[in-house]
Amino acid sequence: MGLKMIKTIKITVENQILVVELPDWSYKEKAKAIGAECFEIVRTQRMYDLFGDSVVMIVDDSGFIENKPMNLVASYFYGADEHGYPIAGDILLGVERSPYNFPLSHPETRKRLLIERFPMLREG
């Protein structure tokens, strides 16, 4: 019997959205999934308003230092259009249940919602 993989949503700098499977929800696996050594958990009112839940972004902590491209959807969630500070690099989405974060429930349904809301996203 194989290990049960953990599914969540990844949004890339190329505007691809996909449901990814991770072996576990450890720091190491989340960082590896977005190509980061360190990451940061980001929560915003925009994401809460869209999802009606405490959805968070897992973002590359050094995306700009490493000159990674801007992530348009993540930057919108972050409010870059208001304050000018975008998100660089790929992201994962999770849900916060204080003090922890977990993978999204129903990632396929939430992926469809995001594709409807953000037409620039394409399935990866």
Q: pLDDT per residue over 16-75, tens digit each? A: 999 999 999 999 999 999 999 999 999 999 999 999 999 999 999 999 999 999 999 999
Give the model's pLDDT for residue 2. 60
Residue 47 within any structural domain of the chain: yes
Domains: count for the chain = 1
Q: Could you tell me if residue 10 is inside a domain?
A: no
On average, the pLDDT of the chain sits at 94
Q: Is residue 51 part of a domain?
A: yes
Q: Give the contacts of 73 (CB within 8 A, at least 6 positions apart).
A: 11, 15, 17, 114, 118, 120, 121
- The residue segments making up the domain with residue 82 are 27-118
pLDDT at 100: 87
Residue 101 vs residue 28, higher pLDDT = 28
Determine, yes or no, domain membership for 22.
no
Confidence check: pLDDT of 83 > 60: yes
Rounded to two decimals, what is the model's pTM? 0.93
Neighbours of 123 (CB within 10 A): 10
